[in-house]
């Protein structure tokens, strides 16, 4: 979700997957230029807190967990097409411990929807995580060395800093970015809502920002897709029972988001 800078149009009625798809198609056909699209997700912190209380009154979502993580981005010159992201937490001694290492996520579908009658816009995304399990010993040692030399510093951009000369190993491995995230999550049987504050810093461009974000993970659909990987959503065929079931689940989820979070009004 992202806040809108302008609002127009009448109040929205019932929304369906078909209407969302039509809106996305209209937006795509209206702009054929090669301009790179961006979706700025930062919301006012007070707005995110209020959304958490607001949605708790309107849905059956219950508090699930609250966590903090550091994400250390490592670049390997021998894999120049991707970046490794090390998800870490802080131990009692102040050192980072790695929980998992991921490669860049694969985005199979991204649709940005302008919700003209709302205070927010909506992005729908289908993506796949790539978790590294069998890591080459040289790569594993390099990652552990870079992460272990990090110093937690609340005043540093991204929440971490490195001693001079410790941001790289030889000419192959280097730190290219760091995130410090904290979030509260709420869930029911089919949805997971995450209210997240992310402090990000890009070492290559020396730029960073702190953003407050609201995201929904459609856990019910994700679990069904993982158990039915033979289903192809790229070929949308009416009458396919499994696809029709998934379509109904997505319709229901979008309708709930439309009626609750997207109906929240940003106060002047």
Q: What pLDDT digit, counting tens, does each position of 60-96 carry?
A: 899 999 999 999 999 999 999 999 999 999 999 999 9
Domain annotation covers residue 4: no
Stretch (H or E) spanning 253? helix 241-259
Structural domain total, the chain:
1
Within 13 A of 27's CA, how many CA atoms are on the CB side?
17
pLDDT, residue 1, reads 72
pLDDT, residue 232, reads 53
Domain annotation covers residue 8: no
**CATH number of the domain encompassing residue 73:** 3.20.100.10
Domain annotation covers residue 181: yes
- Asked if 105 and 127 count as a contact pair (C-beta separation under 8 A), the reply is yes
Domain annotation covers residue 145: yes
pLDDT, residue 154, reads 94
Tell me the average pLDDT across 202-208: 95
User: What is the per-residue pLDDT across 129-162, written as a single tens digit (0 to 9) for each?
Assistant: 999 988 999 999 999 999 999 999 999 999 999 9
- Going through 188-237 in order, the beta strands assigned E by DSSP cover 192-202, 207-217
- Asked if 121 and 2 count as a contact pair (C-beta separation under 8 A), the reply is yes
Mean pLDDT of the chain: 84
Domain annotation covers residue 5: no
Tell me the average pLDDT across 7-16: 39
Domain annotation covers residue 177: yes
Sign (positive/negative) of CA torsion 33, 38, 44, 50?
positive
Alpha-carbon gap, residue 211 to 61, rounded angstroms: 23
User: What is the per-residue pLDDT across 161-179, written as a single tens digit (0 to 9) for each?
Assistant: 999 999 999 999 999 999 9
Domain annotation covers residue 136: yes
**Containing domain of residue 168, as a range?**
39-218
Domain annotation covers residue 113: yes
């Amino acid at each position: 979700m992202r806040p809108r800078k302008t609002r127009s149009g009448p109040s929205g009625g019932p929304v369906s997957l078909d209407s969302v798809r039509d809106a996305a198609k209209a937006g795509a056909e209206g702009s054929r230029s090669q301009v790179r699209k961006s979706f700025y997700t930062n919301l006012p912190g007070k707005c995110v807190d209020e959304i958490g209380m607001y949605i708790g009154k309107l849905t059956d979502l219950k508090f699930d967990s609250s966590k903090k993580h550091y994400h250390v981005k490592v670049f390997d010159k021998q894999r120049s097409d991707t970046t490794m992201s090390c998800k870490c937490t802080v131990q009692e001694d102040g050192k980072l411990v790695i929980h998992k290492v991921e490669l860049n996520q694969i985005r199979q579908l991204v649709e940005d929807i302008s919700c003209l009658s709302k205070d927010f816009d909506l992005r729908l995304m289908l993506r796949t995580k790539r978790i590294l399990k069998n890591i080459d010993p040289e790569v594993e040692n390099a990652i552990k060395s870079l992460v272990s030399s990090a110093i937690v510093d609340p005043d540093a951009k991204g929440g971490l800093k490195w001693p001079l000369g410790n941001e790289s190993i030889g000419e192959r491995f280097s730190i290219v970015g760091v995130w410090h995230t904290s979030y509260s999550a709420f869930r029911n049987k089919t949805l997971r809502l995450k209210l997240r504050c992310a402090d990000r810093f890009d070492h290559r461009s020396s730029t960073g920002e702190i953003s407050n974000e609201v995201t929904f993970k459609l856990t019910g659909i994700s679990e069904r897709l993982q158990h039915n990987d033979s289903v192809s959503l790229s070929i949308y065929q009416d009458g396919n029972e499994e696809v029709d079931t998934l379509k109904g689940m997505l319709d229901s989820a979008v309708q709930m988001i439309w009626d609750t979070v997207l109906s929240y009004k940003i106060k002047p």
